[in-house]
Every structure is written in structure tokens, then in C-alpha cells.
């Protein structure tokens, strides 16, 4: 995520893709969740709705209904960004406002 914030989006995607692959190979659900959230953010920047939604759903993969999958907040930000990009301001507000107020991400990604 740091690379993304520094504007190095290609590097961020490459690093997150590698992290996701390693996490999947080793069964580390928390890193699958985090890497999926970062990749969802980048897919949203590109305007790729299907890919963003798939990756956002991946933040819950393997979490076994744990209370807080660690990548869920990033996924919600990504989906909110995607909503904004497609002119769905009301949907973006509903998704992002709880995060901006310090609230938890919704328990389901829609």
C-alpha cells in the first residue's frame, strides 16, 4: 500500500500480486485478505468493476467468519472509489461514511 501512496502503482500491484500468491500457497488467510484489499483498490483505480468486486470478496476468503478480516476496510474503500468513479455518489457515501467516522466495515461486501 505504501508504494501506491507514493504513486508507484505498477510496483504496488506487482508486490501485492506476489504477496497474494505466496499467501495462497501457504494458506495464510490474513495476508490473502490484506493483499486482496490492496489489489481491489488498484482495480478500482482502473475502473474494473468485476475485478474489484471479486478481489473485495477475496478479503473474506479463508477468514472462517472471523470478526474482522484485515483487508475488509481496504476493500470497502476500493468499492467506494469504484462507486465514485461510476457516478454513484449516494452508494459511495453509504459505503465510505462509516469508515470515515471510524466505524467498522460492513460484515458483508455488496
- Walking along the chain (110 residues) 10 residues at a time, the average pLDDT comes out as 82 94 93 93 95 91 66 91 96 91 58
**Residue 81: per-residue pLDDT:** 96
Supply the DSSP string of 42-64, one letter for each residue: HHHHHT-HHHHHHHHHHTTTT-T
The grid coordinates listed for 100 are: 470515515
**Residue 58: per-residue pLDDT:** 85
Supply the DSSP string of 3-53, one letter for each residue: HHHTT-HHHHHHHHHHHHHHHHHHT-HHHHHHHHHHHHHHHHHHT-HHHHH
**Residue 15: per-residue pLDDT:** 95
- pTM of the model as a whole: 0.84
Query: Where exactly are the structural domains of the chain?
Result: 2-100
Amino acid at each position: 500500500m505504501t508504494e501506491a501512496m507514493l504513486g508507484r502503482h505498477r510496483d504496488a500491484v506487482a508486490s501485492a500480486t506476489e504477496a497474494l500468491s505466496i499467501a495462497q500457497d501457504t494458506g495464510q488467510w490474513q495476508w490473502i485478505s490484506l493483499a486482496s484489499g490492496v489489489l481491489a483498490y488498484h482495480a478500482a483505480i482502473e475502473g474494473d468493476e468485476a475485478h474489484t468486486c471479486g478481489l473485495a470478496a477475496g478479503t473474506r476468503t479463508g477468514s472462517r467468519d472471523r470478526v474482522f478480516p484485515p483487508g475488509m476496510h481496504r476493500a470497502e474503500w476500493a468499492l467506494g472509489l469504484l462507486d465514485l468513479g461510476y457516478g454513484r455518489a449516494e452508494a459511495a457515501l453509504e459505503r465510505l461514511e462509516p469508515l470515515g467516522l471510524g466505524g467498522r466495515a460492513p460484515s458483508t461486501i455488496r
